[in-house]
Amino acid sequence: MTEISSNLEIQARLLELRKLLQRASYEYYALDTPTIEDSVYDAFYQELQKLETQYPQLITPDSPTQRVGEKPTTQFVSVQHHIPLYSLENAFTSNDVNTWQERCQKGLERQEFLDSVCELKIDGSAIALTYEHGVLVRGATRGDGTSGEDITPNIKTIRSIPLRLNLDNPPDRLEIRGEAFLPIAVFDEINQERSQQGEALFANPRNAAAGTLRQLDSRIVAKRRLDFFAYTIHFPSPSPRGTGEMDGSQNLPDISSQWQALEFLQQIGFRVNPNKRLCKSIQELQDYYDFWATERHKLPYMTDGMVMKLNAFLQQEQLGFTQKTPRWAIAWKYPAEEMPTIIEAVTVQVGRTGTLTPVAELRPVLLAGTTVARATLHNSDRLAELDLHVGDTAIVRKAGEIIPEVVRVLPELRPNGATRFMMPIHCPECGQPVFKPENEAATRCINLQCPAIVRGAIEHWVSRDALDVNGIGEKLVRQLVTENHVTSVADLYDLTSDRLQTLDRMGQKSADKIVAAIAQSKTKPWARVLYGLGIRHVGSVNAQNIADNFPNVELLARSTPEVIASIFGIGEEIAQAIYEWFRQEDNQNLIQRLQVAGLQFVGEKKDDRAIAINPNIAGKTFVVTGTLPTLKRDEAKALIQSVGGKVTDSVSKKTHYLVVGAEAGSKLEKAKSLGVQCLSEEELVKLINS
């Protein structure tokens, strides 16, 4: 009896210590108002650590002692995000911001300014956090937005990320998004240590933060003292935004705006950037941007712009998303760092789609933390605009702080005899004439047998997001194409170990591995194959979306642009590119050869959506109102979407049909005033089955 009593007392003391330390961390990191001295915190921490050492069976995942880092892992595991992490559209001028606000107003059929929350854009790494029953169970990198790497042990070392939420009755699951970053002072300390040890220095805090998060040894991560700002919360359904696939909404407040969400994030234990502002006019957006254009240099962390989000969740939901970005948010970037340098030459690259891209070969210059020796010149229109001559002094910057580009040249410093660069009229790779459509800026080689196009197609096919063929890199691809071993991706599947061994520096062991990797690629799913085909505008996310709706290549090849565009997130330009690609005889032959080789052109059919798409409904917009006789509203919505229709919540001029049930409200009156056709449930079913 005494032993049981003693054990209960120990558990109670452990619980008490954990709550006390968690509260102290919350006050220190989230509120910036510590209430206990560091020495007192350390004493409690040591007591907790001592008890857990004595009773390891009583250690819990949310204990503050679990932040110190775990044993090194051998690799990170790829995980699917429950809710996609979208990137943001960028704005670089006030006109861009005005255009964004006007676009939102038009989409919502509003004329007044839409209240927007401004937050500083932290220069770090986006992180997705998952909490189950209030306890942190997973931290993952953004990755490609749909999947990332599970780095939970590293995430647990960040003290501004709570291991347990400050909620008495938490929901089954909450998704939190935010930015992990390295404070400037910590970055300087790390580089000083690396310099003393003779190690290469980190270029900037952003690179250092990204590299730290991908350390296989979380004990190293703990020493680097990463920080974190939370900026997004996805509530369980039913929620203010109705996003995600989560159940339960116990004891959550009624939160209907981004401003309220930020306050709630701080209440439950997160650090939220204090320099946020709720703006009610374009001028207030401009004032916020102008203020931080200079004041940001005084901050203890790096920021490269501001993020603007419509405040009301209802407005966010109504506007929705494009394939890559939310329509209700935008990032206004500060001008990138600019530096002058000399253009020593101009070369022309030919991409996998045949596009010719002029590239400036620069006298190397340090720009935004990295050495830049080449910069894109985009296309012939940009060349003409710049009036660029070889030998010019040019101002170079990093577009979006990533891709170096030439901003302008300084003609007053132009040397005598400098010659203007003109785009070639023949492809520099194959010598065939190039073509520039009247309505496009791009100049293209249209010779499908051009070595550059073939190389690009193969490099894309074997890339990690496509067929992921290990052992085939840029150098080997160049060899294969140069020596005519491969003239299309289908030729890869005819390669043998003996043929590969005829190449320079290729032994039997390496050749056997490559042949095995090529054979393994035949097991990759239909979505990866579709992406690997390299159809213009079809990225990996689009490919997955299309494959989900078209479970085999025959259905997609026979489909019309209108039906393809009816898929949520697939626009007319993408649909037209897919349609035209499948009309080309060379591409039809390629599909046949790949099918014979054993590639996967049939996916797992998740539903009958693709087969059942009704061309009379595809792309049409429906609104459902009132109580239907037999169908629930969600069931009616799913039924419409299953045949290619779109469902929105509000009636507008763009609405094609209003599905009306009993006790229909104001939506029915508005539909009548706009001349929108109204359908009963029975008429809807007949239309779907037509």
For residue 68, pLDDT beyond 80: no
The pLDDT-based confidence of 38 (bands split at 50, 70, 90) is low
Backbone phi, then psi, for 589, in 5-degree steps?
-65, -40
Which of the following is catalytic: 106, 121, 309, 654? 121
Q: What superfamily does domain 621-689 belong to in CATH?
A: BRCT domain (3.40.50.10190)
Which residues lie across from 394 on neighbouring strands? 341, 409
| Residues 351-370, mean pLDDT to the nearest whole number | 87
Secondary structure of 351-386 in HEC code, one letter for each residue:
CCCCEEEEEEEEEEEEECCEEEEEEECCCHHHHHHH
Q: What was the pLDDT predicted at 608? A: 41
The pTM (predicted TM-score) of the whole model is: 0.54
143 vs 290, more confident: 290
Residues of the chain with CATH 1.10.287.610: 2-67
Instruction: Determine the Cα–Cα distance for residues 636 and 659; give it in Å rounded to an integer.
Output: 9
- Which of 27-31, 148-152, 218-222, 548-552 comes out lowest in average pLDDT? 27-31
CATH number of the domain located at residue range(s) 2-67 in this protein: 1.10.287.610
Span 595-635, pLDDT tens digits: 999 999 998 654 444 445 677 787 788 899 888 887 777 77
The pLDDT-based confidence of 573 (bands split at 50, 70, 90) is confident
Q: Mapping DSSP to helix (H, G, I), strand (E, B) and coil, where does residue 132 land?
A: strand
Assign a CATH topology to domain 90-333.
Answer: D-amino Acid Aminotransferase; Chain A, domain 1 (3.30.470)
Span 402-459, pLDDT tens digits: 678 898 899 988 999 899 999 999 999 999 999 988 777 889 998 988 999 999 999 9
- Which of 70-84, 202-216, 334-348, 566-580 comes out lowest in average pLDDT? 70-84
Q: What is the DSSP string of 656-673?
A: -EEEE-BT--HHHHHHHH
For residue 647, pLDDT beyond 90: no
Residues of the chain with CATH 2.40.50.140: 338-435
For residue 400, pLDDT beyond 70: no
Q: What was the pLDDT predicted at 33? A: 63
248 vs 44, more confident: 44
Backbone phi, then psi, for 681, in 5-degree steps?
-60, -40
Q: Beta strand 677-679 with 657-660: parallel, antiparallel or unpaired?
A: parallel
Nearest-5° angle of CA 399, CA 400, CA 402? 75
Helices 2-25 and 38-54 cross at an angle (nearest 10°) of: 140
Residues of the chain with CATH 1.10.150.20: 448-523, 526-612
Residues of the chain with CATH 3.30.470.30: 90-333
Q: What was the pLDDT predicted at 29? A: 53
Q: Tokens representing 216?
A: 């296989």
Q: What was the pLDDT predicted at 151? A: 92
For residue 534, pLDDT beyond 90: yes
Q: Mapping DSSP to helix (H, G, I), strand (E, B) and coil, where does residue 260 land?
A: helix
Most confident of 47-61, 270-284, 432-446, 553-567: 270-284
Secondary structure of 430-444 in HEC code, one letter for each residue:
CCCEEECCCCCCCEE
The pLDDT-based confidence of 247 (bands split at 50, 70, 90) is very low
Q: What superfamily does domain 526-612 belong to in CATH?
A: 5' to 3' exonuclease, C-terminal subdomain (1.10.150.20)
For residue 41, pLDDT beyond 50: yes
- Write the single-letter amino acid at 26: Y
Please provide the average confidence, as pLDDT, over all residues in the chain: 85
Question: What is the number of other CB atoms lying within 10 angstroms of the CB of residue 119?
Answer: 23
Residues of the chain with CATH 3.40.50.10190: 621-689
Q: What was the pLDDT predicted at 611? A: 41
Alpha helix locations (H) across 28-178? 38-54, 94-108, 152-155
Cβ–Cβ < 8 Å for 168, 251? yes
Helices 282-295 and 94-108 cross at an angle (nearest 10°) of: 140
| Residues 651-656, mean pLDDT to the nearest whole number | 86
Exposure letters 668-681 (e unless 16+ CB within 10 A, then b): bebbeeeebebbeb
Instruction: Determine the Cα–Cα distance for residues 601 and 490; give it in Å rounded to an integer.
Output: 14
Q: Which residue has the tokens 């499908």?
A: 448
Instruction: Determine the Cα–Cα distance for residues 685 and 349; give it in Å rounded to an integer.
Output: 54
Assign a CATH topology to domain 448-523.
Answer: DNA polymerase; domain 1 (1.10.150)
Q: Tokens representing 424?
A: 């070639």
Q: What was the pLDDT predicted at 241? A: 41
398 vs 4, more confident: 398
Q: What was the pLDDT predicted at 640? A: 82
For residue 28, pLDDT beyond 60: no
The helix or strand, by DSSP H or E, that contains position 130, with its residue range, turns out to be strand 125-132
Assign a CATH topology to domain 338-435.
Answer: OB fold (Dihydrolipoamide Acetyltransferase, E2P) (2.40.50)
Secondary structure of 163-225 in HEC code, one letter for each residue:
CECCCCCCCCEEEEEEEEECCHHHHHHHHHHHHHCCCCCCCCHHHHHHHHHCCCCHHHHHHHC
| Nearest CA among 623, 626, 631, 687 for reference residue 661 | 626
27 vs 300, more confident: 300
- HSE, side-chain direction, 13 A CA sphere, residue 559: 32
Q: What was the pLDDT predicted at 40? A: 65
Our answer to whether residue 324 is catalytic in this structure is no
Which residues lie across from 507 on neighbouring strands? none
Span 111-120, pLDDT tens digits: 999 999 999 9
537: left (phi over 0), alpha (psi -120 to 50) or beta: left
Cβ–Cβ < 8 Å for 397, 338? yes
Q: What was the pLDDT predicted at 607? A: 45
